Amino acid sequence: MTQPQCKTQNRATTLNQELARGYPNARCELNYDNPLQLLIATILSAQSTDTRVNQVTPTLFAEYPTAQALAAATPEHLQAIIRPTGLHSTKTKQLIQLGQQLVKQHNGTVPDTRDQLTKLPGVGRKTANVVLGNAYGQPALSVDTHFARIVKRFELTEEDTPEKIEKDISSLLGKSEWTIFSHRVIFHGRRLCHSRNPACGVCFLAKMCPSYGIGETDPVRAQNRIKTDTAERQHLLQLASL
């Protein structure tokens, strides 16, 4: 390993450790009870938020508890339920086709390999990794927009495509850390390190961040950029010594 590679690996390890302090409860924020529910919820999360998806899935899962039920769904009824998540027409087609393919090719169960998952309607590599990492406990990095933005801000990769980013980050951390590291990074992106005007002035990672200063550095104004509940907000401010 070259000196620059070693330095990058050390930064990744330190970042993971610090994120663990900041977000001890980091997890998948989609609500689900089984692999099928997580797969459906992850498909719905495209161009949406986990909060919005969680608002529709209780009704959705009650109406369509199995792949067989989803395969037989009436498009109009399904679309009415998932409409708040956006792209409802496309997602309706994907979910019905998903149910049909699961029934036809997998006896109604969700496969547990990336190759099989990515052959399903509406399932890309990121969605497959979410299911593998969370529903099946297999090491997997979930490279969404938050993840990609933050690992680039910490100069852990210079790549732009999810697959290349995943390859770079997977070489920096042990497999056992891949899934939880994804959650921690995504938590940070949702709460502090936003795409526009991140809350640099209240960030507990400021001293180690190569990109510090691209957002609001005034602590008072930066506090208005924190997006989380009161308890977690106080925890983050304490870590930042504010």
Binding-site residues? 193, 200, 203, 209
Q: How far apart are CA 68 and CA 90, in angstroms?
A: 20
Left (φ > 0), alpha (ψ -120 to 50) or beta: where does 204 sit?
alpha
Q: How far apart are CA 81 and CA 88, in angstroms?
A: 9
Query: Which residues are annotated binding-site positions for [4Fe-4S] cluster?
Result: 193, 200, 203, 209
Of the residues 126, 167, 207, 229, only one is catalytic, namely 126
Of the residues 50, 93, 119, 144, only one is catalytic, namely 144
Q: How far apart are CA 126 and CA 142, in angstroms?
A: 5
For residue 222, what are its two tokens?
């930066």
Active site residue 144: yes
Q: Which long-range contacts (CB under 8 A, 24 or more apart) does 165-169 make?
A: 166/125, 166/129, 166/141, 169/12, 169/141, 169/143
Active site residue 112: no
Q: How far apart are CA 60 and CA 222, in angstroms?
A: 38
Instruction: Say if residues 141 and 169 touch (Cβ distance below 8 Å).
Output: yes
For residue 14, what are its two tokens?
């330190």
Catalytic residues: 126, 144
